[in-house]
Structure 1
Amino acid sequence: MDEAPPPTRSNWAEQDPLLTAYYDEEWGMPVTDDAGVFERLSLEAFQSGLSWLTILRKREAFREAFAGFDPERVAAFGEAEIEALLANAGIIRNRRKIESTIGNARATLALAAAGDSLARVVWSFMPERSPAPRHDGEVPASSAESKALAKELKRRGFSFVGPTTAYALMTAIGIVDVHLVSSHRRGCSGLWNADGTRSGDAPFSKQGALLAR
């Protein structure tokens, strides 16, 4: 019997077992709750200028330090908590990123107070088509939608959310599918076909809750 061909992954996912597990089990799967989207947004912001492997290695320490990324709890952090975070060797000790995470938690609560949600805002920028890269060189770093999302999040009071960070978030939580067309994970979200056309409804759309752009 012929052996099955080995799985096809993006090059970055082959660099470390932790990255491979993240790629095979999590990357590109839909995240639609505010706490989950807030965590991913926070981690992508901390990753800016660093490797994703560094973030994955510190992920549990981040979760502990930031109260499980509960927006309500993080929004209540003050100077004492900031100083404790700056002394925490388990995370990335960058004051601007720490203060941004706290500010973004407060912006998340402001959305909820206005009858909206971070998850709905982010998912409202799901495109009609997703890229269909054949190799890593065809994977974009940003898109028209990520630029618009970054602009909207900044308007809503969020920071450290440029177009590249916004696109990384979109790829991480399934809003677009940039797995290689040949990858065993292509289409894993259930929202995209291999050619980049949609195969399922966007979250919230059945309730008519996707926001107008």
Structure 2
Amino acid sequence: MKRALWGLGLGLALSGAWAQQVWKCEAEGKVVFSDKPCPQAGRPVAERSLRPNVVDAIKPEVVDAAMGRAAASAPAAAPSPGNACPGDGELRGMQTRANSTTLGDAERQFLQDEVRRVRQCRSGQGRYREADWDISREAQAAQTQIGERARQDARLRAEAMHSAADPDEGDRIARRRIAEERLARRQQQAVLRGQNPASTPLP
């Protein structure tokens, strides 16, 4: 009984899909199928020759191809989620702190870099999550704490996060560290030679 009902349903599906007359047309050396008579060379196609296998018969794209209709476009893929970036108010607060005269040079430079990274994020650069900016906020707050080591460790954690979220920024951070290491070596060598480290040129 179930087999009979299944066969009846399949037959109805096939008959509905192929009830309309189909024409095989030749246009510019190509063969196309249409539900309208061919404007040039062509002929109607016998219904029995149109029947594909059972599985393909119920696929909409098969019906569209046989009828000469453009296949329905696939649903558009969901857009990739955009960056999670700090808002206008937070950015203004970061700018104010980055210009504070109470900070040391390294701390001020870090906060200014964070302002630049926020702007890059808002322009679509990198792939940030909200949790990433929590790391940045902790590092920013640490720049006013006592203890140079703690401030430096916080900066390193934030820079590691930025390197993972934004490869371009990661390259910039790596190049800056190389330049800083070279400068430190030159200054150390100058001290050993009895020169003034402040007069040592940048690499």
How does the TM-score come out when normalised to structure 2?
Answer: 0.27
How does the TM-score come out when normalised to structure 1?
Answer: 0.27
> Taking CA–CA contacts closer than 8 Å with sequence separation of 6 or more, which of the two structures ends up with the larger relative contact order?
1
Higher strand fraction: Structure 1 or Structure 2? 2
Which structure would you say has the larger Rg?
2
Higher helix fraction: Structure 1 or Structure 2? 2
